[in-house]
Structure 1
Amino acid sequence: MHALTEAQIRAGLINVTQSERKNLTLPAEFGDTPWSAMDFYGARDRKLALVGYVVAVLDDEPTGLLLRQAESKPRSRAQCSWCADIHLPNDVLLFTAKRVGDAGRRGDTVGTLACDRFQCNANVRKLPPLAYTGFDREAARAARITAMRANVEAFVRDVRDGL
């Protein structure tokens, strides 16, 4: 992923009001973001505990969503819908995003289970364990990265297009 500026992130948010866009707070360490090791940008708002946002590049344009964390946590260990990692070092939470346009103004939302701090980029880049003799760990890692990118992009498109 190419480096994004704060202005690009704010401008790319497609399911927010002007006040939500203006009040968004980026992480203090935003300047240290390892862009080359990311396929999407995700962060939690440091001032609003239940708010996060993700930005993926769709059709060469940064396209982002404001997400709200559900107030209750899953009762059992959930699997992230994006990275699908089964050895997670972090929690997985339910996030919802308002749909774009009239549907969102009517209250329509789309939900997903995602890593609590959007650690998916790091999770899929870990070298998987050797499953059997001759198992190509690098190919497996590349496949996980590709699948995660597709999962995040599909979620963003679903919120944007209402599919």
Structure 2
Amino acid sequence: MDPLTPADIRASFVNATQGEAERVPMPGLHEVIWAEREYLGWRDPQAHHRAYLVHWAAEQPRGILLRSSEFSLQPGIAAMCSLCRITRRADEISMFTAPRAGQPGRDGNTVGMYLCDDLACSHLIRILPPAHPLQPDPAQLLAGRIDGLNSRLQAFTASVMKPA
């Protein structure tokens, strides 16, 4: 992922008003290892139900405002993130909704997806199994995970931007 500045991030939101984008709290950008990210995702430290996701699409950053559900999945079961497709404990996966861009979003239309609660998909896909003759090459496995994550991220963003 190419590095982002606070100005890039604030200008990237496709489903927020200018005022909402100006109030988005910035994550610690100086700590980000950009080469190991497909997107930048973070939770609002003042309002944990709010989250933000920014990635590059068509040579420009695209940001999405998210809201996590106040309800959690049933404890004791496994759940899968729709972006990274990694199975985790139910308390580590949350339903996130994003208002659609433009008038449909102002009218209350949203798009939802089960995501890793900590939005750490970029880190999780890099945890690879040990090399083994019966396993795919780790580099190929990682490349496939990255491609899949990017493809699903682009599709989610397109659904947020699509008129209802």
TM-score higher than 0.5: yes
Distance 2:145 2:92 in 1: 19
Q: Is the 8 A contact 1:128 1:141 kept in 2?
A: no
May I ask how many residue pairs the two structures share in their alignment?
162
Distance 1:69 1:26 in 2: 18
Change (3 A) 1:107 1:32: same
Distance 1:121 1:26 in 2: 19
* Cα deviation code 1:8-47 (max 9, x no counterpart): 00100110122211211122x3211111101111111122
Matches within 5 A, 1:105-120: 105-120=106-121
Distance 1:97 1:143 in 2: 26
Runs of 4+ off more than 4 Å:
129-132
Q: Tell me how large the CA RMSD over aligned residues is.
A: 2.0
Change (3 A) 1:128 1:105: same
Deviation of 1:87 after TM superposition, in Å, equals: 5.5
1:31 to 2:34 alignment: no
2:144 matched residue in structure 1: 143
1:62 matched residue in structure 2: 61
* Structure 1: runs of 5+ lacking an equivalent: none
Distance 1:23 1:3 in 2: 21
Distance 1:134 1:102 in 2: 48
2:17 matched residue in structure 1: 17
* Cα deviation code 1:69-94 (max 9, x no counterpart): 00001124320000001357x81110
